[in-house]
Chain A
C-alpha cells in the first residue's frame, strides 16, 4: 500500500497493466516524454520505451481510430484525450465504430480500447475545459462509461476497464486529481493524504465495473452521484445533518441498478446529483429507473441537482457548479415533502 493522489493512482494503474501485459500500449497528446499535461503518464515512456508509451498528433479522431485498429489486432490500447471537451472530433469513431464493431461483425472483431479523459469543472477552465459529457456516451449502446471518485477506485476501475473486452470511456474528475474536493470554492486545497481511499495497493487489483459503492449508509434519503459530486454530496449530508445514503455509482454503463433500487426502496426518497447539464442528463435515466422500480415506496418526488442548462462560464464557475449549498437545499426540501 502507498499513499497516492488520483494522478499517482492512475499512473500506478498504467504501470501495473503495462508490466503485466505487453499488449497494453499508451498514447495521446503530450503523454509520452512529458508524461501528460496532468502528469498521469509520467515516467511510462522511460520505463517501457517509446513504442509502449508515445506522443500522438493532435487528432482525437486519429487517436481513437488508431486505437481501434490496434485493438482489432489484439492489443489493449489505453489512450488519453487531453480534456473531455476535446473528444468530439472522435465521436464518429467512438459511436459508429468502437461501439458497434462487435455487433456488426457478428462477434468476430472487437475494439477493447480504454479512453481516459479528464472531465468536469472547478479549475476555471471555461466552456472548453470543464464539460461533463458522460450522458452522450451512456446513450451509445456498446460503450461502457466509468467515473471514479477516489484514488483507490481510479486505479481498480482503470485496471478493470483495460482488462474489459469492450470499449470504455473512463472519465476522470480532474478537480479530484490532487484531493477530495467538497465543493466549497473558498476551501484551501486538501490532499488525499490521510483519506482512507488515498491508500492504494501497489500491485494488481480490480474494482469491478457495474458495482456501485455505498459510501455513506443512511435511512432518510438516497443520493445517487458519481465523480466529483460524491464528495459534494457527502459534505451536504454532513452540513445538513440529514441521514443520507450516498451511493457512488462508479460506472453508469454498466449500471448497478440492484444497489440503487434496494437503497431507494429502503429510504423512500431519491436525489440525483451530477455536474453535467440537466436536460437529458444521466439523471433523467436514473429517475426513470427509480420511478419504475420504486414507485410505491417513494415518499417524495425524485429530484435532480445538476449544472445549469448553459455552457460552463469562466467567471461564474462557482455559480454554475452544483455545490453543497444547492445540494443541501434540495436535501432539505425533499425531507419536507
Chain B
C-alpha cells in the first residue's frame, strides 16, 4: 500500500467529524409559505402597505443601481385616491394618450369577456383573461416606440391593441380558423405578429425573458436604435430563464426593459411560493447590479413613468432596468381553473390597488378630459365592436365549426424550405 493509501485508510478509521456530531441538537424544521387567507376566510391584505402616491423619489436616469436600491423595496405611485397625479414621477403626458390608454384597457377587458364566454360556449378550447392588470401592458406599450420589440408572456394581449393590430386577426387565432395566420397550430392567446414587433408567445414559461435580452444585445451589436421589452409573471421568475436574463442584461448592459408582472397568483400558488414574501421581486435586480423599480401596476401613470425612465436609460446606452409591476389577477389563471378553490372569495373586492380602468377614468375626469357619459358611450361602443368582430370571426370559423386551415399546413414550417422525403411520405400517408 502506498503512503497515500495508508493515510486514507487511517483517515477513514478516525472520522474527521468525530466529537462534533452533537452540535446540531435542535431538530430542524421546514417552512412552507402560506398565503394570509384561503377559501372560507375573509381576504386579508393587511400585509400590503401602499405608500402614499407621490412619496417615492425619482432618481436621475444615470443613477448607479446601488444608489437607488431602496426603490426596489418601495412602490412608485402617482395617482392618489382622488385621481390626482402627484409627486416626482407624475409624467407629463398628453391627455390624448391617456384617453387612448383608457380605451385600450376597456377594449381589452371587453375582448377578454367575450372570448372567455366563447370558450365556455365550446367555440374554442382555452382562454386567459388579463382582467385587473390591463394597465401594465397598455401603459408600457404606449410609452415605448412602436418600432421597439416586444417579448410578451401570455397576459399582455393589450400590447397588440396598442399597436393597432386587428382584433379580427386575434380572434381568428383564438378560433384556430382558416384565417388564423398561425395556421391553427397554437393554443388560443399564443399570438404572434412580426409586423407588430410582437414575438411569438410560448406556452413554456419564462423562455421569452432571456430571449428578449438576446434581441436587445443584437440591436446593440448592430448599432440599431430599437429597444426591447419583455414580461414575465411573478411565478415564472423562479425559472432559470429569469436569472439568465438578469445576468446577461447586467453583464452586457443590454437595451432591454425587464418587466415582472406580480399579479399575486401563479395558478393556485400565491407569490410567496416564488419567493415574494422574502423580498420584493424587484429586489432581485439589486443583486445583479440592475436598476430596479417597483411600481403600482394598477396605476397607469406610474407604469408609464417607470417605463419612460427605463427607456431613457436604455436609449442612453446605460443598459437594462428591472421593473416589478404590483398588480392583481382578478380572475382565474385561465378557463381551466376555479379560483374559489384556492383563494378567498372576496379578494377581488378587497384588493387595495383598485381597478386600473376606474383609476385612470377618475384621473381623466379630474383633469376635465373625460366624463361619465363619454365613458358609458365608449363602453357600449367597444362592446359592440367586440361583438361585431366576433361575428365576423365566427363567420369564418370556430374551433368546432366552419372553415379550418388546410391540414396540409400541418407538415409545413418544421424546417426551412420544402418538407423533406420523410414528411412528404407522411403527408402522403395522411392522404393529401
Contacts and interface: CB of A to CB of B under 8 A. Distances in A.
Nearest to A25: B30
B273 A57 contact: yes
Given A124-B125, A126-B187, A314-B185, A59 B269 contact: no
B236 A58 contact: yes
Given A33-B268, A34-B268, A314-B176, A308 B203 contact: no
Nearest to B270: A55
Interface stretch (B95-103, B106-114, B217-225, B335-343): B335-343
A26 to B, nearest CB: 12
Most chain B beta carbons < 10 A, residue from A30, A58, A309, A315: A315
B322 to A, nearest CB: 18
A56 interface: yes
- Is chain B's interface secondary structure helix, strand, loop, or mixed overall? loop
A22 to B, nearest CB: 13
- Is chain A's interface secondary structure helix, strand, loop, or mixed overall? loop
A297 interface: no
Nearest to A61: B240
Contact of A315 (B269, B336, B405): B405
Contacts of B205: 58, 86
A91 B88 CA distance: 47
A127 B185 contact: yes
B235 A57 contact: yes
B202 A319 contact: no
B136 to A, nearest CB: 19
Contacts of B274: 57-58
A89 B240 CA distance: 8
Contacts of B196: none
Interface string A36-67: 01000000000000110011111111100000
A30 B267 CA distance: 7
Contacts of B236: 58
Interface in A270-328: 278-279, 308-311, 313-316, 319-320
Contacts of A103: none
Given A86-B204, A310-B410, A310-B411, A57 B275 contact: yes
B38 interface: yes
Contacts of A319: 407, 410, 430
A297 B260 CA distance: 62
Contacts of A32: 32, 269
Given A30-B267, A314-B176, A315-B404, 10 more contacts: A34-B268, A37-B336, A55-B273, A57-B235, A60-B239, A124-B125, A309-B414, A313-B410, A314-B186, A314-B188
12 contacts: A30-B269, A55-B273, A57-B275, A58-B274, A86-B204, A127-B185, A278-B422, A279-B422, A309-B414, A313-B183, A315-B184, A316-B410
